[in-house]
């Protein structure tokens, strides 16, 4: 085996390191960010900065000195509230740019689980929710409480003012 057993019988090694890295990837200020919902086709890590082909820098696509095209991320982030920093670990405001979680562009007013090109959990698709002010406020306060069985593991934003800022900003994303 590639790892070793600890005294507790838990497997240590690459799998444990990967699990810890994923668990800590979206952490911040005691509230865990993360979605767990998967892009269609299971392509995790296709968001900005995920490596080759992501426009991570000159030469990231194999051509030295080539400047990547503007993905629109900078303009989409204009006016984002500070609380979006946790969301950004998994979500993009750029239309069609899914990461661990779906793109948030144009999500306001849609039915839960209906953003094209993203494979949502059966629980979220069956929830019947529509992303309006009241529903988003409940969702951001505790996704797993609102939709048991969702894969979004974010613990929730306890500050109503921060939730309101996020919702107001989501309304601007087209």
Say if 155 falls within a structural domain: yes
Tell me the CATH number at 91.
1.10.760.10
What pLDDT sits at residue 40? 52
| Per-residue pLDDT, 157 | 98
User: Does residue 112 lie within any of the structural domains?
Assistant: yes
pLDDT tier, 97 (very low <50, low <70, confident <90, very high otherwise): very high
Tens digit of each residue's pLDDT (9 = 90 or more) over 128-149: 999 999 999 999 999 999 999 9
Tokens of 171: 């309304």
pLDDT at 62: 39
Query: In what helix (H) or strand (E) does residue 90 lie, and over which residues does it extend?
Result: none
d(CA 60, CA 67): 9
Please report which helix (H) or strand (E) contains residue 172, including its range.
helix 160-172
Does an H or E element contain 3, and which? none
Instruction: Kindly state whether residue 151 falls inside one of the protein's structural domains.
Output: yes
109 pLDDT band, cuts 50/70/90, is very high
Residue 150 lies in a domain: yes
Sort strands 27-28 and 38-39 into parallel, antiparallel or unpaired. unpaired
pTM to 2 decimal places:
0.61
User: What range does the domain containing 169 cover?
Assistant: 30-39+76-174
**How many structural domains are present in the chain?**
1
- Lowest-confidence segment of 10-14, 161-165, 166-170 by average pLDDT: 10-14
Residue 11 has pLDDT above 90, yes or no: no
Q: How confident is the model over 168-174, as a mean pLDDT?
A: 95
How far is 82 from 116, CA to CA, in rounded Å? 27
122 assigned to some structural domain: yes
Would you say residue 116 has pLDDT above 80? yes
**Confidence (pLDDT) at 71:** 53
**pLDDT tens digit sequence for 28-76:** 333 333 444 455 543 333 333 333 333 333 333 334 444 344 456 677 7
């Amino acid at each position: 085996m590639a790892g070793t057993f600890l005294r507790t019988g838990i497997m240590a090694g690459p799998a444990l390191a990967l699990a810890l890295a994923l668990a800590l990837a979206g952490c911040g200020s005691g509230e865990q960010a993360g979605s767990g919902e998967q892009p269609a086709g299971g392509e995790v890590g296709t968001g900005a900065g995920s490596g080759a082909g992501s426009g991570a820098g000159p030469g990231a696509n194999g051509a030295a000195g080539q400047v990547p095209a503007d993905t629109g991320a900078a303009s989409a982030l204009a006016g984002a509230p500070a609380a979006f920093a946790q969301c950004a670990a998994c979500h993009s405001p750029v239309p069609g740019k899914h990461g661990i979680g779906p793109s948030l562009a144009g999500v306001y007013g849609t039915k839960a689980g209906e953003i094209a090109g993203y494979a949502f959990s059966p629980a979220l698709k069956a929830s019947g929710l529509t992303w309006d002010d009241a529903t988003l406020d409940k969702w951001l306060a505790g996704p797993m409480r609102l939709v048991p069985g969702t894969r979004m593991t974010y613990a929730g934003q306890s500050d109503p003012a921060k939730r309101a800022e996020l919702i107001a900003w989501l309304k601007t994303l087209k």
